[in-house]
């Protein structure tokens, strides 16, 4: 399929982290690239820091989207994105957000080739909006870049019509490219539990939040908790914020910038998270930290199978056991998510496809 330019469309912090290595690799291969942000994340801590801290080698533009609510956001992206696309553009999206689904549908309706980065992930948990988004995108994408053979097998089972390639996950490229910059990042401590939580199916449940608070109140380990804006809102709404803010061993922080966060991962004893990207980046050889996945299921199964991470239901006692006794952390081999050169593979595949089409 021929294209003149690759337009990366991204809306949230993990999309910026994972698209950045692709922008570098494509620009390095002489392919014109642009980044369009959808404003799904629009605060300084959740967006601007990722646009400023990562040096983007291409033009960066923001769609004039102002909605907060999911459906309004979706509608505004559908309305505005077409004006930013040219006839020879290939659209690339990453992951499973509302922005991904909206941009995929625009590409499909305008008959632009569509590439999906991180294709084939499945949690089989249909309570997650992300599961619906990634499935729909995979079924209309032309190029599907799956991180692992495990993910590619889902795509083959589902008989997706596009071309499937196993390339690893670019989150490891991002760690490799930025790890040298961590030497200047301040240390937030040692031997702490790093906590990140934001998934809707978790933090929207008061019962879940109560277990997290019970865990934080009962552990004697120091904890560092950069709080996602959604999680802070939910803790406050459930009148639970004060139950954690008064604990001297728990440091509640604003969301960290990317480099500060990587440094926080590197120095953590163990990470407790429901984040997808954190499950992956903790397997990077430069970080290699144990991850307790605070969810009922995960689509990052290869990390569980390789014993980099373990699934934990939301139960304070269970969590306490897993962060105290780390004997479950016995990582087998190198990261299941590739070698940190995924973006180069993607650039080679796309430029190869372009040559064939010429
Ligand atoms: N991250 C960050 N600061 C934080 C927490 C996470 O920079 O305080 C980065 C992290 O390095 C990872 C990405 O955000 O690359 C993960 O994003 P998030 O957990 O919001 O989304 P998910 O990966 O679950 O879709």
Domains 5-168+340-357 and 180-324 share a fold: yes
Is 1's pLDDT higher than 80?
no
Using CB atoms within 10 Å of the CB of residue 114, give its burial: 0 to 12 exposed, 13 to 18 middle, 19+ buried. buried
Average pLDDT over residues 316-321: 97
pLDDT tens track for 58-67:
999 999 999 9
Encoded tokens for 332: 């087998």
What separation in Å is there between the alpha carbon of 2 and the centre of ligand 1? 33
CB 265 within 8 A of CB 285: no
68 against 108, higher pLDDT = 108
What average pLDDT does the structure give for the chain?
Answer: 96
Quick check: CB of 309 below 6 Å from ligand 1? no
Of residues 177, 174, 163, 198, the one with CA closest to residue 337: 174
Report the C-alpha gap between 74 and 208 in whole angstroms.
28
H helices of the chain, where?
Answer: 13-28, 49-53, 70-84, 98-109, 129-138, 149-157, 170-178, 200-203, 206-218, 229-237, 241-245, 258-266, 276-281, 301-305, 316-324, 342-357
Which residue, chain included where needed, has tokens 């009962």?
218
Is 19's pLDDT higher than 80?
yes
Quick check: CB of 258 below 6 Å from ligand 1? yes
Which residue, chain included where needed, has tokens 């926080």?
264
Which pLDDT band, with edges at 50, 70 and 90, does 184 fall under?
confident
Is 358's pLDDT higher than 80?
no
Q: Which atom of ligand 1 is nearest to the CA of 199?
A: 24
Question: Domain residue spans in the chain?
Answer: 5-168+340-357, 180-324
CATH 3.40.190.10 fits 5-168+340-357, yes or no: no
Rounded to 10°, the helix 129-138/98-109 angle is: 20
Quick check: CB of 96 below 6 Å from ligand 1? no
Angle at the Cα of 297 (from 155 to 11), degrees rounded to 5?
65
Phi/psi class of residue 205: alpha, beta or left (left: φ > 0; alpha: ψ in -120 to 50)? Answer: beta
pLDDT tens track for 134-166:
999 999 999 999 999 999 999 999 999 999 999
Is 354's pLDDT higher than 90?
no
Of residues 237, 191, 245, 189, the one with CA closest to residue 213: 245
Of residues 171, 135, 170, the one with CA closest to residue 155: 135
Residue 198 annotated in active site: yes
pLDDT tens track for 260-289:
999 999 999 999 999 999 999 999 999 999
Which pLDDT band, with edges at 50, 70 and 90, does 239 fall under?
very high
Which pLDDT band, with edges at 50, 70 and 90, does 183 fall under?
confident
Average pLDDT over residues 158-179: 98
**Best of 14, 95, 223 to mutate for ligand 1, by most ligand atoms within 8 A of CB?**
14
CATH 3.40.640.10 fits 180-324, yes or no: no
CB 138 within 8 A of CB 119: yes
CB 90 within 8 A of CB 112: yes
Distances, alpha carbon 207 to alpha carbons 8, 158, 232, 238, in Å: 38, 35, 15, 10
Is 78's pLDDT higher than 90?
yes
Angle at the Cα of 70 (from 69 to 74), degrees rounded to 5?
115
Of residues 272, 296, 291, the one with CA closest to residue 126: 296
What separation in Å is there between the alpha carbon of 138 and the centre of ligand 1? 22
Q: Reduced to 3 states, what is the DSSP secondary structure of residue 233?
A: helix
DSSP conformational letter for 126: T
Which pLDDT band, with edges at 50, 70 and 90, does 246 fall under?
very high
User: What is the pLDDT at residue 143?
Assistant: 98
User: What is the pLDDT at residue 145?
Assistant: 98
User: What is the pLDDT at residue 355?
Assistant: 80
What separation in Å is there between the alpha carbon of 173 and the centre of ligand 1? 15
């Amino acid at each position: 399929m021929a294209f003149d330019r690759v337009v990366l469309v991204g809306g949230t912090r993990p999309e910026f982290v994972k698209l950045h290595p692709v922008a570098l690799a494509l620009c390095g291969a002489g392919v014109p690239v642009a980044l369009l942000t959808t404003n799904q994340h629009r605060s300084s801590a959740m967006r601007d820091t990722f646009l400023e801290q990562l040096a983007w080698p291409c033009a960066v533009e923001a769609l004039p989207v102002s909605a907060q609510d999911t459906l309004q956001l979706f509608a505004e992206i559908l309305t505005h994105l077409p004006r930013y696309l040219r006839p020879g553009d290939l659209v690339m999206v990453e992951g499973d957000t509302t922005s991904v689904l909206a941009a995929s549908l625009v590409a499909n309706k305008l008959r632009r080739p569509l590439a999906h980065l991180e294709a084939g992930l499945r949690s089989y948990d249909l309570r997650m909006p992300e599961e619906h988004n990634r499935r729909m995108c995979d079924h209309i994408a032309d190029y599907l870049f799956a991180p692992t053979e495990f993910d590619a097998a889902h795509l083959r089972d589902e008989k997706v019509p596009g071309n499937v390639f196993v390339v690893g996950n670019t989150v490891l490229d991002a760690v490799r490219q930025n790890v040298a910059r961590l030497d200047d990042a301040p240390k937030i401590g040692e031997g702490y539990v790093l906590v990140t939580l934001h998934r809707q199916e978790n933090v929207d449940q008061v019962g879940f939040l109560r277990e997290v608070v019970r865990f934080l109140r009962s552990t004697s380990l120091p904890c560092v908790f950069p709080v996602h804006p959604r999680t802070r809102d939910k803790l406050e709404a459930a009148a639970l914020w004060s139950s954690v803010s008064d604990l001297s061993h728990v440091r509640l922080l604003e969301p960290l910038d990317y480099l500060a966060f990587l440094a926080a991962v590197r120095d953590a004893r163990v990470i407790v998270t429901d984040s997808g990207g954190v499950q992956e980046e903790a397997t990077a050889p430069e970080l290699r930290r144990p991850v307790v996945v605070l969810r009922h299921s995960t689509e990052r199964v290869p990390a569980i199978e390789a014993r980099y991470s373990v699934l934990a239901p939301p139960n304070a006692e269970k969590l306490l056991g897993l962060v105290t006794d780390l004997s479950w952390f016995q990582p087998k081999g190198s990261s299941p998510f590739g070698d940190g050169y995924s973006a180069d593979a993607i650039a080679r595949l796309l430029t190869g496809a372009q040559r064939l089409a010429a």
